[in-house]
Amino acid sequence: MSIPQTNFSPPFNITRASHLVLTARDLAKSRAFYTEVIGLMVSDEDADTIHLRGVEERCHHSLTLKRTSGAPTCERLGFRVFTDEDLDKAKRYFDRQGIAAAWAEVPFQGRTLHVCDSVGTPLEFCARMKTQPRTQTRVHTHRGAGALRMDHYQVLAPDVPAAAKFYTDLGFRVSDFICVDGVERLVGVFMYRKNNPHDMVFLARSGPRYHHCGYMVQEFHHMVRACDVAGNLGFGEAIEHGPGRHGLGHSYYTYLRDPDGHRTELLLPAVQMIDIDEEPVRHGVRPNVNTNLWGLPAPRSWVEETTPFAGVEITGQGTDSARMTLESWLAARQPVERSGEPAMAGPGQKPA
Positions touching Fe ion (CB under 5 A) are: 154, 214, 265
The CB-of-194 to Fe ion minimum distance in angstroms stands at 14
Question: Judged by CB, which is closer to Fe ion: 86, or 176?
Answer: 176
Question: Judged by CB, which is closer to Fe ion: 154, or 196?
Answer: 154
The CB-of-155 to Fe ion minimum distance in angstroms stands at 11
The CB-of-212 to Fe ion minimum distance in angstroms stands at 6
Beta 185-192 vs 200-204: how paired, if at all? antiparallel
Radius of gyration of the chain (CA): 20
Question: Judged by CB, which is closer to Fe ion: 176, or 265?
Answer: 265
The CB-of-261 to Fe ion minimum distance in angstroms stands at 16
CB burial readout 331-340, b (16+ within 10 A) else e:
eebeeeeeee
Residue 41 burial by Cβ neighbours in a 10 Å radius (0-12, 13-18, 19+): buried
Question: Judged by CB, which is closer to Fe ion: 91, or 263?
Answer: 263
Question: Judged by CB, which is closer to Fe ion: 93, or 190?
Answer: 190
For 3, residues 6+ apart whose C-beta sits below 8 A from its C-beta are 161, 164, 174, 177, 186, 189, 280
The CB-of-230 to Fe ion minimum distance in angstroms stands at 18
CA geometry: angle at 214 spanning 251 and 93, to 5°?
115
What are the backbone angles phi and psi of residue 247, rounded to the nearest 5°? -65, -30
What are the backbone angles phi and psi of residue 252, rounded to the nearest 5°? -85, 160
